[in-house]
Chain A
C-alpha cells in the first residue's frame, strides 16, 4: 500500500532532550516536506527536500534539522526541544516538484503529536 509513515505517533519528552521523528514513503517520491500544525495557525512548513541531499528551509525552520540521505526517508531532528515546539507534526511527499505543469498531489503521513515539557 502506498503510504507515508511517521514514527513515533505520540511522544512526550522534556526540554533539551534530543529527539528524531522519522518519516518514510514507499512511493519513490522526489519531494518531501515537514509541517507543523497548531490551533489557529494552520499548517506551517518547517523544511522541505526536492530530492536526495537537497533540503531547504520552510517558513518556521528554527529549532529543527532535517536530512535526506535516501529518497524514501526524511527525518526531522529536534536537537534541543523546547515547549514551544509542542505541536502536531506532519510529513508529506509528492512525486516531484512541478516543473511548469502546475500540478502535484501531496500525500501526508498520519501525524506525530509531540509534547515538550
Chain B
C-alpha cells in the first residue's frame, strides 16, 4: 500500500463538521482511497472510499484533490459516538492476501 500520513489526533465540537485530512503523495493511478474507523476495541468499520471523484454516503463525504495526493474525510455533524480512530488507507487490487494495512490513524475526539 502507498504510504499515508495523518495527524495524530484532532478534536471536534459536537454538532460541527469534522474534517480529517490524509496525505498520500505516492498514490498511483489505480489505487483507491479508503477510510475506516475503529471505535475503542470494536471491529474496524468501513466508512467510504473513492478513486478520484468526490464521494458521499450516509456516513461521510470524501474529498480527493485533483492531483490525488491528498484527501479529506468529512463527518458533517459529528456526534459523541463518532469518537474513534480514523484510518486512511490507499490500496490497489491484488494486494497480497487482500489484507488491509492500517497505519496509526487519527484519534478524533468529539466533545460536547
Query: How many residues on chain B are close to A (CB under 8 Å)?
Result: 24
Using A102-B30, A105-B49 as known contacts, say yes or no to A111 and B43 having CB atoms under 8 A apart: yes
Contact A33–B99 (Cβ < 8 Å): yes
Contact B98–A108 (Cβ < 8 Å): no
Which residue on B lies nearest to A111, using beta carbons? B43
Contact B93–A98 (Cβ < 8 Å): yes
Segment 35-77 of A: residues with Cβ below 8 Å from B: 35, 42-43, 45, 48, 50, 56, 58-59
User: How many residue pairs at the A-B interface have CB separations less than 8 Å?
Assistant: 70
Complex Cα gap A90–B91 (Å): 20
Contact A33–B98 (Cβ < 8 Å): yes
Binary flags per residue of B13-30, CB closer than 8 Å to A gives 1, else 0: 000000000000000001
Contact A109–B103 (Cβ < 8 Å): no
Using A94-B98, A102-B32, A106-B100 as known contacts, say yes or no to A43 and B93 having CB atoms under 8 A apart: no
A-B CB proximity, top 3 nearest: A108-B43, A98-B93, A45-B99
Which residues of B approach A to under 8 Å, CB–CB?
A: 30-32, 34, 41-46, 49, 51, 91-94, 97-104
